[in-house]
Amino acid sequence: MYSKTTRYIPFSSYSPYENMAIDEYLLSYYERTSQPVLRIYGWSPVGISVGKNQEALKDLDLNRCKKDAVPVVRRQTGGGAIYHNNEITYSIVCSEKDLSCKDLTVKESFEKLNQFIIKMYAKYSLTAAYARDFQPSGSKFGNPAAFCFASNEEYDIVIKGKKIGGNAQSRKKDIIFQHGSVPLQPNPGAMDYFIKKEDNGNYTDLAALIGRVVDPVEACANMIASFTETFFCSLEEMPLKLDEKREVVALLTSKYAVNNWNLKQ
């Protein structure tokens, strides 16, 4: 990715099922082409994603999800559940070599990759840092939580002492797939309502920090700028082509739009 032309999939909003099908397709695209990918997207309708190995039946109130027609989809990345509303989400596909992190641990790769998010917040005059920088040495990290924003990890991004957004990875040999979200506005009550436990409330969003609501298009432009500045790369805007959409639809109908995958035990 450093100095490498990265494919950029322009911002658009899709259903939770479509979003995860597109992301899985992009992983296979990288396997074929070795071209890094950045995709930024929204969620319409709003939905909940759960981590690859999360127990959806245990951690979510599925009756409420059903009653309120909030789709639940399973990601290919780890971590906890996220209620996707009033946010922009990104996915990145690259290799350890692209990121010059072959000898780094997974946690250290988060540190390297998340630099562009920190730089993005700086464009709003916000000083973001990693959670480990705010905690005394010897602090205990790594308490996975059902709700992603309530977890507490070393390389979580923190502003003014509160976690903002979440990031999670999937690894396939030396390929890194990373998801992350930037919350633009709060979603009052939604976490407690749909996700069963562990909402410590110690998280924030862009509107709360800067006192205005940022349009997704503006956030997206700032994310793109910080990405290219961080990784010294150029972006090649390349929406999904028709044959690629066919592959996405195949993943959608065989996996992401069915509950075998989304609600697996």
CB distance 73 to 262 below 8 Å: yes
Of 69, 103, 137, 260, the residue at the interface with another protein (CB under 8 A) is 103
Of 16, 36, 47, 51, the residue at the interface with another protein (CB under 8 A) is 51
Q: What is the DSSP letter of 34?
A: -
Among the listed ranges 100-108, 188-196, 203-211, 254-262, the one in contact with another protein (CB under 8 A) is 100-108
Residue 165 binding another protein, by CB under 8 A: no
Q: What is the DSSP letter of 53?
A: T
Of 46, 65, 131, 168, the residue at the interface with another protein (CB under 8 A) is 168
Triad 54, 93, 91: Cα angle to 5°: 60
- Nearest distance in Å: CB 189, another protein: 26
Residue 89 binding another protein, by CB under 8 A: no
According to DSSP, the residues that pair with 9 across neighbouring strands are: 39
Q: What is the DSSP letter of 239?
A: P
Q: Is 191 exposed, middle or buried (0-12, 13-18, 19+ CB in 10 A)?
A: buried
Residue 15 binding another protein, by CB under 8 A: no
Residue 6 binding another protein, by CB under 8 A: no
- Nearest distance in Å: CB 68, another protein: 27
Residue 167 binding another protein, by CB under 8 A: yes
Q: Which stretches does DSSP call E strand in 5-144?
A: 6-14, 37-43, 47-50, 72-74, 82-84, 87-95, 128-130
Residue 79 binding another protein, by CB under 8 A: yes
Whole-number Å distance between alpha carbons of 177 and 174:
10
- Nearest distance in Å: CB 31, another protein: 12
Residue 153 binding another protein, by CB under 8 A: yes
Residue 142 binding another protein, by CB under 8 A: yes
